[in-house]
Amino acid sequence: MPIIDPHNMKKEKCKEKVYPNERWGSFHPHRCKNNAWKDGYCKQHHPDTAKEREQKSEARWEAKRKRSPEYKLKQAGKEIERLKKALGAIANSEEVLSSDKASWYRQIATSALKEAETK
């Protein structure tokens, strides 16, 4: 039987069921003791707050993922591919091909490309 506090009878209570975790073996859910804040939920258990909390947790997870060496390696690999393409585009561009210094430009771009591939 839930204990009813007569002092709190008038105020609407949060309708969320909570599972106490302070004591192992106590798996019986009870009604949240907080006063209702909006839509019958307390501020902590309102779906909006829960959603916000979830988004924050996702953002944290995403930030953690972006700090991981695997992610950084993948990004570095993408960057190398992008640079290779850029060098290739320079070596074969109209401007370079029609330039007086065409062979010089091509040589620079090609050696940079080789360097990028071997590293």
* Binding positions for Zn ion, rule: CB under 5 A: 14, 16, 32, 34, 42, 45
Using alpha carbons only, give the angle 52, 14, 50 rounded to the nearest 5 degrees.
10
Quote the least distance from Cβ 34 to Zn ion, whole Å.
Answer: 4
CB of 48 or CB of 115, closer to Zn ion: 48
Quote the least distance from Cβ 39 to Zn ion, whole Å.
Answer: 11
> Do residues 38 and 65 touch, judged by C-beta distance below 8 A?
no
CB of 45 or CB of 91, closer to Zn ion: 45
Quote the least distance from Cβ 81 to Zn ion, whole Å.
Answer: 51
CB of 39 or CB of 115, closer to Zn ion: 39
Burial class (CB in 10 A: 0-12, 13-18, 19+), 37: middle
Quote the least distance from Cβ 56 to Zn ion, whole Å.
Answer: 18
> Do residues 31 and 13 touch, judged by C-beta distance below 8 A?
yes
Distance CA 93, CA 82 (A): 16
CB of 19 or CB of 63, closer to Zn ion: 19
Read off the tokens for 99.
């330039």
